[in-house]
Amino acid sequence: MLTRSLDAEAGRSRIIAVVMDPGWVSTDMGGPEAPMTPARSVVGLMRVLDGLTARANGRFLTWEGAEAPW
């Protein structure tokens, strides 16, 4: 809800507010069965962040840039 609320405010400030899913990452929390390394997740997240535009405000995106359902 915070991201949705920021959507209205952010547009006036040229700030882009999104929620991002890093994927199932092999960490202490993700467990050893997770198929993705932290480095791969971060590369994907950074690629998505670098390409964000104001149209993305208030959206929920995956580490690959796809829109995820709320």
CA 11 – CA 27 distance, rounded (Å): 35
pTM: 0.83
SS3 for 54? Answer: helix
Does an H or E element contain 16, and which? none
Burial of 32 by CB count in 10 Å (0-12 exposed, 13-18 middle, 19+ buried)? exposed
Q: List the chain pLDDT tens, one digit each, 70 residues.
A: 788 777 767 667 778 889 999 999 999 999 999 999 999 999 999 999 999 998 998 899 999 999 999 8
pLDDT of residue 14: 79
Place of tokens 């809800």: 1
